[in-house]
Amino acid sequence: MKTVVLPFYVKLACVLLSILLLGYLAILGHTILAPLIFGFLCSVLLLPLANLLERNFQMPRSVSSLLSSIALVILIGAVFTLLGTQLSSLANDWPAFKQQLLKSAADLQFWISDTFHVNNKAQIDYINQAASKSLSTGTTLLSKTLMSLSSLFLLLLFSFLYTFFILFHRRLIVRFLVNSFKENHSPVVYEIVYQIQYIIKRYVVGLFLQMLIVTILACLAFYFIGVKYSFLLGLITGIFNIIPYVGIFTALVITVLITFATSTATNVLFVVIALVVIHAVDGNYIMPKIVGSKVQINTLIALIGLVLGEMLWGITGMFLSIPIIAIMKVVFDRIPELKPWGMLLGDESSEEGSYMKIPKRTRKQKIENLLD
């Protein structure tokens, strides 16, 4: 059979067209794909628990999958309940919070007048103009907020359903993937499936450990500084820190605003210093040791992935971008024609097979467990 070799410009056109088509499909399928990928990540994380319930407690696959999914819902519900309790405490203190905010605004107004020689009337006129513009868009902002909350509820609901069904049909999915390729490619397919499972599980666990450590550090720092709502602000810092690069900045803005309204300017300065130190410790030690060693993606690709994820799916896309790139690297590293792309996604210091340094015997047992 004669092999047809396409010119370079034809290959380039096909690649660019495929990228545009995939991006368009990702935008159209956001409602389905986002919870599906979330469900896939959660099912990989819950796979050991489901296997444990099936083998040690002789539970049917449907029961083990359901109990594992419910355990995840309970964990997420506990976090939201904890946040809700702290937010209700903040709402109860709203009158005092408002009074302190007005006092801080008056002090700021006096400082602006004294430093920049802008009289109070000009400041009030500017504030009134800004307030009128904000009021005109208030209804739109409220409706968008309600839509975001409803979208979050639907995302969690469908993620739960997808998690359950992926766990329940996991062996069928693996068999489908294996049978989709030639028989001589089966070992490579099994290897890719297990490596994806291994990386995602370690990455998600590492992410939760990172969130826990950052939350504890932030809570302790805010407590010793004397910040009110130290636990709430520490929890917000830990949760937002999951979002790479921009998460810690968002947490910094929220923390500074609340601290500014409930404390002194000195405490605000200490809070900024504390968050900068925590971010430095997280970026130079916690992230590389706990999370970075599991997913070795270079910073440029990670940043591009975050931007594209935000453009396509918003905050959800930013959270999912790193695991998706990690999965792509696993697949690219195991396909000879795509190895250069896998090299491009990886870090320069990473070596082939650095994702999974485990004995071959253990690896073989784990792969066989997928079809038990």
Query: What would the two tokens of residue 26 be?
Result: 């990702």
- Closest by CA to 38, choosing from 166, 135, 125, 186, is 166
Which of 259-263, 274-278, 355-359, 365-369 has the weakest average pLDDT? 355-359
**pLDDT computed for residue 148 by the predictor:** 57
Confidence of residue 142 (pLDDT cuts 50, 70, 90): very low
Give me the mean pLDDT over the 156-164 stretch.
Answer: 92
The residues that bridge with 297 in the sheet, in sequence order, are 346
Which of 28-32, 54-58, 150-154, 331-335 has the weakest average pLDDT? 150-154
Looking at the chain, how many residues does it have? 372
Q: CA-CA-CA-CA torsion for 309, 310, 315, 318, nearest 10 degrees? A: 40
pTM (predicted TM-score): 0.78
Query: What would the two tokens of residue 270 be?
Result: 């200490």
